[in-house]
């Protein structure tokens, strides 16, 4: 059985998704967890039943075969290099690192150590993709954020390039130009 270490609780939806996804797996088990924050470490232990580590050296030198990086993105390169130096395989949750240079450092460290490096995304963290009834409401001004429209939309009347605003259209914002 492949023994997995879970490094960090910073990206909590992703961390919980990995825990849920691997809970019933017959090919692997989360046996160790690491976080510097005692409250987060306690939460990880509660949900995994794994052995806790508050120091990174103890975690990377434990009996795990590989580690999943759900630690803060700014810390992923250093944790990955520590795992690789200890001969552990690494799965880095998205985004892999803060910069392309950090990504290259992670790749180089894993190649030098002869371990596998994977960058991935657990799709169970995205409720909008897995549960259509849970889709966020669209935002008219920024389609990448949930919520309602925050400013009036400007549009042009048919056949005209003149934008229509509530002040220039009859009866508010009907979308038609007022006669002159």
Domain segments of the chain: what residues?
A: 2-125, 153-180
User: Comparing 150 with 161, which gets the higher pLDDT?
Assistant: 161
With bands split at pLDDT 50, 70 and 90, how would you rate the model's confidence at 21? confident
Q: Where are the beta strands (DSSP E) in the chain?
A: 2-7, 28-34, 51-53, 66-69, 89-93, 117-120, 155-156, 163-164
**Contact yes or no for 147/130 (Cβ under 8 A):** no
Interatomic CA distance for residues 157 and 164, integer angstroms: 7
What is the reported pLDDT for 123? 61
Q: Of residues 116 and 14, which shows the higher confidence score?
A: 116
Contact 41, 5 (CB under 8 A): no
Q: Give the CATH superfamily of 2-125.
A: NAD(P)-binding Rossmann-like Domain (3.40.50.720)
Report pLDDT digits (tens) over 102-119. Answer: 999 999 999 999 999 999
């Amino acid at each position: 059985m492949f023994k997995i270490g879970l490094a960090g609780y910073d990206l909590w939806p992703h961390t919980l998704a990995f825990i849920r996804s691997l809970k019933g797996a017959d090919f692997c088990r989360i046996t160790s967890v690491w976080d510097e924050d005692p409250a987060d470490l306690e939460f990880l232990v509660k949900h995994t039943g794994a052995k806790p580590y508050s120091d990174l050296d103890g975690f990377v030198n434990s009996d795990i075969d590989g580690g999943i990086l759900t630690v803060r993105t700014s810390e992923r390169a250093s944790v990955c290099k520590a795992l690789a130096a200890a001969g552990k395989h690494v799965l880095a949750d998205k985004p892999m690192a803060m910069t392309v240079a950090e990504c290259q450092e992670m790749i180089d460290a894993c190649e030098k150590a002869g371990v596998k490096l994977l960058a991935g995304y657990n799709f169970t963290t995205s409720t909008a993709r897995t549960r259509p009834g849970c889709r966020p409401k669209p935002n008219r001004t920024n389609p990448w954020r949930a919520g309602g429209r925050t400013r009036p939309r400007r549009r042009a009347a048919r056949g005209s390039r003149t934008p229509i605003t509530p002040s220039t259209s009859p009866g508010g914002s009907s979308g038609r130009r007022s006669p002159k």
